[in-house]
């Protein structure tokens, strides 16, 4: 088991953002958390990266308890996140953003970094054309690619993608999901958070459905996509 979340509770002040949620991610999987706005998806992702303090429960990564580990130490273990809203360093160039992705790597000066850069450029040819452009001057889709490329530059074991399709045109959404599948097939485990349930379920091995801070359903992507209740709630007007 690569990631195990057990009985996790996280508060924002006095408000319970997530309540007693448990889920696992096996090595090699794409696992998706699906839910409406405010269901606690982003809180879960931020907590796995250490940006939110845990009130109760545990987070275990690769057998190590990381529940209270400082956020900046987690990329060293192999956890890398492309956050909601992309979080690109808008004043830095595309290249500098990608280099920031290698910040925590012990081998950041070796040739391996160059290979990873080539791989990122292969996945996102757009970035290669714009290495010197300021990240802030790029379109939303390009910034999404940059955020994902930057996360990949950390050479993660587990890639966390928080709403990669947010605010993108349908055609671009499909492209982003194709790339997620490609990244996974190259050997990176992916934990995905999505509102775009149709696409996400189709692509994932397994999924969990979050409602108001609790997991209400789980199963394989296929099974959930076929489930009438899920269809009614999440796939209604979707692509």
Partner 1 sequence: MQFLIDNFAALTVTGLAIGAVYSLIALGYTFVYGVLRLINFAHSEVFMYGSFAAVWVVMVIGGHPGGSIGQVIFWVALMFVAAMAMSGLVAVLIERVAYRPLRKRNAPPLIALISAIGASFVLSETMGLREKIAGWFGLDDTLRPYVNNSRNNVPLPSIIKPQGVFSIQGYEVTNVDIFVIVGAIAMMIMLDQFVSRSRLGRGIRAVAMDPEAAALMGVNRDRVIRVTFLVGGVMAGAAAVFYLLKIGSTRYDVGFILGVKAFTAAVLGGIGNLRGALLGGIVLGLAENYGSALVGTEWKDVVAFVLLVVILLFRPTGLLGESLGKARA
Q: What letters, b where the CB count within 10 A reaches 16 and e where it falls short, cover 188-221?
A: bbbbbbbbbbbbbbebbbbbbbbeebebebbbeb
Both ends of the chain: CA-CA distance in Å? 32
Contact window for partner 1 (CB under 8 A) among 23-31, 55-63, 73-81, 221-229: 73-81
Provide the minimum distance between the beta carbon of 115 and partner 1 in the complex, in angstroms, as a whole number.
Answer: 19
Site residues for partner 1, 172-231, by CB under 8 A, read none
**What's the rounded Cα separation, in Å, for the pair 113 and 5?**
31
Number of residues that bind partner 1 (CB under 8 A): 30
Provide the minimum distance between the beta carbon of 154 and partner 1 in the complex, in angstroms, as a whole number.
Answer: 7
Nearer to partner 1, 116 or 230 (CB): 116
Nearer to partner 1, 104 or 207 (CB): 104
Site residues for partner 1, 120-179, by CB under 8 A, read 136, 150-151, 154
Nearer to partner 1, 42 or 199 (CB): 42
Instruction: State the binding string over 79-118 for partner 1 (x if CB under 8 A, else -).
Output: -xx-x---xxxxxx---x--xxx-xx--------------
Provide the minimum distance between the beta carbon of 163 and partner 1 in the complex, in angstroms, as a whole number.
Answer: 15
Provide the minimum distance between the beta carbon of 234 and partner 1 in the complex, in angstroms, as a whole number.
Answer: 27
Provide the minimum distance between the beta carbon of 86 and partner 1 in the complex, in angstroms, as a whole number.
Answer: 9
Q: Which residues bind partner 1 (CB under 8 A)?
A: 46, 49-51, 70-76, 80-81, 83, 87-92, 96, 99-101, 103-104, 136, 150-151, 154
């Amino acid at each position: 088991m690569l990631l195990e979340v057990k009985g996790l509770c996280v508060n924002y002040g006095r408000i319970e953002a997530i309540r007693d949620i448990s889920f696992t991610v096996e090595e090699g999987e794409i696992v998706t958390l699906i839910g409406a706005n405010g269901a606690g998806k982003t809180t879960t992702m931020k907590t796995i990266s250490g940006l939110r303090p845990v009130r109760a429960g545990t987070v275990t990564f690769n057998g190590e308890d990381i529940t209270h580990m400082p956020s900046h130490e987690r990329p060293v273990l192999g956890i890398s996140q492309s956050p909601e809203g992309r979080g690109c360093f808008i004043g830095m160039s595309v290249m500098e953003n990608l280099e920031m992705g290698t910040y925590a790597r012990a081998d950041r000066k070796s040739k391996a970094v160059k290979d990873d850069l080539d791989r990122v450029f292969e996945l996102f040819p757009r970035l290669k054309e714009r290495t010197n452009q300021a990240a802030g001057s790029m379109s939303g889709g390009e910034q999404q690619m940059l955020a994902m490329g930057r996360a990949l530059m950390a050479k993660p074991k587990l890639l966390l993608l928080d709403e990669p399709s947010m605010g993108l045109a349908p055609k671009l959404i499909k492209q982003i999901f194709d790339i997620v599948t490609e990244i996974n097939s190259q050997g990176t485990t992916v934990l995905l958070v999505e509102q775009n349930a149709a696409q996400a379920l189709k692509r994932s091995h397994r999924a969990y459905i979050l409602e108001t801070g609790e997991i209400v359903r789980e199963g394989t992507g296929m099974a959930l996509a076929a489930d009438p209740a899920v269809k009614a709630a999440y796939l209604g007007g979707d692509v």
